[in-house]
Structure 1
């Protein structure tokens, strides 16, 4: 990499190159997961405050010129945003964007899987915390297990590869089901990702935290797992069976944080850029976009914003620090 190319990249104070942006396209969701959004929560952004597709495309175009190559669309539930495949097509056409993925709860996938694949989404992550109907209903607040499973099969039929299952593992809630989820993912060639709860907002603080390190060690012994690497640029650390037929990832912000290799930022639906889930520093881009500033000024703002990116989160030291909900930040 030449010095000129290096100077154009988006690099923070700690030498980490930012090449991955997670974009929330809505803060609305059709579920009420206990660790994400309170049951009675109604304080959604009004659509006039949401970034338009034109505004999102413009920000991603500028980011792509600074080396951002991966985009993940999130929510809320992103498939509640109307005409989402259109946005995917527009982002997929931008020079420099190499990978577009989607995080979803799966309830809408039967309707949109084919259109999303044709538009350019390459990979999907589907949230599924249990395979038991009553338990899913208790965790997400809706009787939707059948819809999620149907969505998964629709995604598989549409040709998404890989499909990752995101399971938030909670002590005394679903930790007795981890082996069942492993078997399910093995059967369908899905990748399992086990996730520790994070103390974000009242819901996160009240979630039953489970240290995944003992779980990792047990599965490693049980299946003879070895170190694995998967593309995607995310925070998971992967293990795989020796034949490569099954992969399991561990996202462990509490027991083994991944801050030293953090390469991502999050853009909320209202145009607020968050540099870290565990810090409150942010930069608001919507006022700049609607003041019709130049792309040069937008790029300068991104460079100013990345100076706010901390070396690491403080979930352990200050668990009550983050008062915003995960759904407001962008999955």
Structure 2
């Protein structure tokens, strides 16, 4: 699959639910309205549409949400999709999770072929974590991370840089991750959906974050790529830190991904409203000719780049990250 700008699209982020057991202040309002369950694709439908993408050239598949591990019978979908790993047509099946339920699922995920998981973790101090997530329990997340590591799953922490909440804590978070053999990526807050806070106040450019890391370590730029937008550095103590900078350094030129929601809505860019309905062709007949054609037609409309701007109060798009798929 080649988009209009010559980029090969080989990475699908598949949201299995828009629901989440947390309400992070930068992600959604406290009283979030989730999609009606009747609109959500079944697990077999999600398997079918993901398999269509794999057939058309996707080599990396990430399961997201919302929080993917709150979806009932989630392991069934993982086990179904793992057949593409066994056949060799899929290189990697991964997941992004808040970690709250990871302890329960770590071993079976590893058994199904999941070798790498991203865990969203913005702070280690219990009260601060609970405030940012509106009720989350960081101790549960730490137990989940340790369970995943024990199961042989590589862990990368994702931390959203928040000026008033964790600017002074990110070095500590990196040290904690590296001590466990995990990596850390830091992400600029993205203007997706309305939240109670003003994201202009939350915004912390990663140039400032990198400067803080440079006070603690000597940083060496790496050519490493995991198929995502992060730029990586290695510390003189051997730990790896990634910087994801949608606002201070646009990375769209190398975009290789699309996002599919749990309702079958394909978003071609995280920061653009360009989309395609895949649920209708998916349900139109039993073979995948219409589905394949809809996917290929959508890729031909992929925008060149997003238009995020941290100086503007209004979100770049109205939908929340939990709906789009993280």
State the TM-score, normalizing by the size of structure 1. Answer: 0.92
Q: Matched residue of 2:177: which SS?
A: helix
Contact 1:22-1:73 at 8 Å conserved across structures? yes
Change (3 A) 1:27 1:222: same
Q: Structure 1 residues 169-178 or 81-90, which shifts more?
A: 81-90
Return 211-220 or 70-79, whichever deviates more: 211-220
CA contact (8 A) 2:22 2:136 kept: no
Could you tell me which residue of structure 2 aligns to residue 6 of structure 1? none
Shift in Å at residue 142 of structure 1? 0.7
Question: Which residue of the partner structure matches residue 325 of structure 1?
Answer: 320
State the Cα distance separating 1:67 from its structure 2 match. 1.4
Residue of structure 1 equivalent to 2:66:
76
Q: Deviations over 1:273-304 (max 9, x none)?
A: 00111100110111111111632221111111
Q: Write out aligned runs for 1:214-233 (5 A).
A: 214-220=208-214, 222-233=216-227
Q: Distance in 2 between matches of 1:40 and 1:55?
A: 29
In the alignment, which residue of structure 2 is the partner of 1:276? 269
Residues of 2 paired with 1:202 and 1:329: CA distance?
14
Cα RMSD (Å) = 1.7
Gaps of at least 5 residues in structure 2 are: none
Judged with a 3 Å threshold, the aligned counterparts in structure 2 of structure 1 residues 108 and 92 are, in CA distance, closer, same or farther, namely: same
Deviations 1:181-222 (A, max 9, x none): 121012111101000001111129723000001322442464
Give the corresponding residue for 2:241: 248
Instruction: Name stretches of at least 5 consecutive residues in structure 1 with no aligned partner.
Output: 1-9
- Structural mapping, 1:54-93, within 5 Å: 54-93=44-83
Equivalent in 9, 29, 33 of residue 18 of structure 1 = 9
Matches within 5 A, 1:1-331: 10-41=1-32, 43-94=33-84, 95=87, 96-161=89-154, 163-203=155-195, 206-207=198-199, 208-220=202-214, 222-242=216-236, 245-292=238-285, 294-316=287-309, 320-331=315-326
Deviations, residues 104-137 of structure 1 (Å, cap 9, x unaligned): 0000011111011111211101111001111111
State the aligned residue count: 319
Q: 1:139–1:315: structure 2 CA closer, same or farther, 3 Å change rule?
A: same
| Counterparts in 2 of 1:259 and 1:271: CA distance versus 1, 3 Å | same
Deviations 1:17-75 (A, max 9, x none): 0000000101111100001111111x222333211222122222221222111000001
- What TM-score do the two structures reach when normalised by structure 2? 0.93
